[in-house]
Amino acid sequence: MNGTELINKSKAWFDHEPVEVHQGVSVHVFQYGAQWMHARMNDLSPTNTFPFDQSIRYGLYGLLKYGICLGSFLLSCILLSRIHIGLLPLAVLIFYFVEVHLLFLFPLLIDRVSKPVLTSICITYRIGIVRCIITVMQIAFFMMVGLFNLRKPFQNWYIGCLSIVLWYKNDVRDRLYK
């Protein structure tokens, strides 16, 4: 499925069952997000359910993932600006190039897959790095635009996250458990 299809399927599901995280912004954002994602994965695949594992350090994995992505973005901004300021938009592509390598990290952690970082990287290349970047950028754009909806600024964020869960379910999870 492409980004538009994933977003449309996620919108339809979310319109039917608008489940949101009811926690304030905190240092536990990755833990709360993983719990939300776990519940959606169980909703979408009731035959492949696992209890949520509180012992997994979702916060550390989140810091690892986004620390590497943001570090790559900032470093590329510095290096590209030294060449020419007009190259700075390429830093966004670099961010997403790095990010898609860990695209399925949280669903894999939730499913207790051994070596989740390596597995996520392998899955990204199996699906296709360019396809992953294009799809993720479509979903990310949808999520960012949603932040301008002052009444429900995070609704698109949930729909975007659900898109990743659906993608994981359709292209990864169902193959892991066959």
pLDDT tens column, 91-133: 999 999 999 999 999 999 999 999 999 999 999 999 999 999 9
What integer pLDDT is reported at residue 50 of this predicted model?
79
Q: Are 45 and 166 in contact (CB under 8 A)?
A: no
pLDDT in tens, 28-39: 789 988 998 998
In terms of C-beta distances under 8 Å and separation of at least 24 residues, what long-range contacts does 173-178 make, across chains too? 173/41, 173/45, 173/48, 173/107, 173/111, 174/45, 176/111, 176/113, 177/48
Nearest to 110 by CA among 171, 47, 61: 61
Percent with pLDDT over 70 in the chain: 93
- SS3 label, residue 6: helix
Q: Per the confidence metrics, is the pTM higher than 0.85?
A: yes
